[in-house]
Amino acid sequence: MHCGLCLNACPTYRVLGLEMDSPRGRIRQMAQVAAGAPAGASYIAHIELCLACRGCESACPSGVPYGRLVEAARAEIECTVVRGPGERRIRQFVFGHVLQSPAWMTFLGALLYLYQASGVQKLVRALGLAALLGRLGEIEQLAPAAEPPFFFNKIGKTFPAEGQRRYRVALMAGCIANVCFARLNEATVRVLQKNGCEVAIPAGQRCCGALHVHAGLRDQARTLARRNIDALADGYDAILTNAAGCGTALKEYGELLAGDPDYAEKARAFSERVRDITEFLASIELNRAMKPLPITVTYQDSCHLAHGQRVRTAPRKLLAAVPGLEFREMPLSDQCCGSAGIYNVVENEMSMQILERKMRSVNRTGAQVIATANPGCALQLRAGVRVHGNGQRVVHVVELLDEAYQGAKTG
C-alpha cells in the first residue's frame, strides 16, 4: 500500500521530511529485509529512529498494523545485531535487573533522591555541567524527581472503598513509577476510593514489560507477563493502570503469550480486564462531589492511549467533569511529544526537536496546566516547559481529579 496518508501523522517525517523516516518508507525497508536484503546499519538506524508511537496506525485507512510490524522488526534486529560489550552489559543491567527488581529500583531511587535533595543537581544545572557529560548529561536533563517514600511500601496492601463498595479493582503500580510517581499512584488510589472502589495493590507484581517489548526483548517481556498474570489471578472487576504505555502492553498480553499453551488463555482473560484509569473512571458513575478548580487546562494525548488503545474521549470527559476547569484543545494533541519510553534518552536529538514543536502547540493554547494520562509524557513535557514553556504545570488527569476531591463538600 503506498497511499502516503500516514506521512503527516509521523513526527519523524514531519521533522526530517525523509521518506526513509516515514511509516511508508519504514514498511518498505522492512519488506525488503523480509525478502532477503541485509539488515544493515542504515536500516537499523531508520527503524530505531521510529518512536513506535503508532500515530501512523490511526491515520492509515487500510488498517496496517504498524506497531506490530515495528516490534517484530526490532525483535529481529535484537537477535541479529552484534552490540559492543559495554552496550550489552548496560542493556542487560537495565532490562534484566533494574526494571525487574524492586530492590535495585529502591537503591537507585535513593541515590537519585540524594543527588537531587543534596543540591548537587541544582549545582550541576546552574554551572551547565550537564553539557560536559555528553549522553549522561542529556539523561540528567530528563531525570525524573525521586519521590520518597516510594510506592513499593504499598504493594501487597488493600485500600477500602469510601462509602459503599461498588467495585473491587487491582492497581498495577508500574516499575519506575513506584519511585518517581509515588504521589501519582497514591492520588490514583484516593480517586478510586472516592468512587466506591476497593483497591488492591497485589503483591508479586512487576514491571509490565512494555519497555522490553519496545526494545525487542520479547522473551523477557513474556517472563514478566507470566509473573503478573499469576500475581493478579484473583477475580478483580478490573485491572487498572495510570500509565498508558503499560496499559497497552498489559492489553496485549494475550497476543504476547498466544504461543504458550499454559498461559495463552489466562493471558487473554487478563488482558480483557485491563483498563486505563481514565477509561475506567469515565465508564462508571463518577462521584461529582468536587470543589471547583478555576484553571485553564490543555490535554496531551499519550500515543499509547490514543493510538494504541483508542482512548481519546475518556480523559477529556473527566476533565470536563471538574467544576470551574476551562479546557483548551491544543492543535495536533495526538502527535507524540517525543517521550516514547526510553526514546528521549536513546534518540535524544530527535526527541528534543519533536518536543520543541509540541511546546509550540501547547503555548498557543495559553493554558496554565498541561494534563496527560501517562507519566512518561509528563516527564517529557516538564522538560519541555523548562526549555520552551511559560511555566505551565504538568499533571496527570487523575491528579486534577484528586485535587478537586480534596476538601470538596460531601453529602
Q: Which residues bind ligand SF4 (CB under 6 A)?
A: 1-6, 9-12, 23-24, 26-27, 50-56, 59-60, 62, 64, 66
Our CB check for ligand SF4 shows the closer of 18 and 387 to be 18
CB 397 within 8 A of CB 371: yes
Shortest Å, Cβ 191 to ligand SF4:
31
**For residue 140, how many other CB atoms are within 10 A of its CB?**
16
Q: Which helix (H) or strand (E) covers residue 198, if one does?
A: strand 197-200
**For residue 54, how many other CB atoms are within 10 A of its CB?**
25
Our CB check for ligand SF4 shows the closer of 244 and 367 to be 244
Shortest Å, Cβ 22 to ligand SF4:
7
Shortest Å, Cβ 57 to ligand SF4:
7
Crossing angle of helices 264-273 and 218-231, rounded to 10°: 70
Unique residue bearing C-alpha cell 529502591: 106
Q: Which helix (H) or strand (E) covers residue 244, if one does?
A: helix 244-251
Our CB check for ligand SF4 shows the closer of 22 and 205 to be 22
Our CB check for ligand SF4 shows the closer of 52 and 398 to be 52
Our CB check for ligand SF4 shows the closer of 239 and 350 to be 350
Shortest Å, Cβ 17 to ligand SF4:
13
Our CB check for ligand SF4 shows the closer of 212 and 304 to be 304
Shortest Å, Cβ 402 to ligand SF4:
31
Shortest Å, Cβ 372 to ligand SF4:
17
**For residue 139, how many other CB atoms are within 10 A of its CB?**
16
One-character DSSP codes across 335-364: S--S-TTTHHHHTHHHHHHHHHHHHHHHHH
CA 190, distance to chain mean position in Å, is 21
Cis check for the bond before 149: say yes or no (omega within 30 of 0): yes
Shortest Å, Cβ 66 to ligand SF4:
5
Our CB check for ligand SF4 shows the closer of 18 and 233 to be 18
Hey, what long-range contacts does 347-353 have (CB within 8 A, 24 or more apart)? 347/48, 347/49, 348/135, 348/138, 348/142, 350/12, 350/15, 350/49, 351/380, 353/15
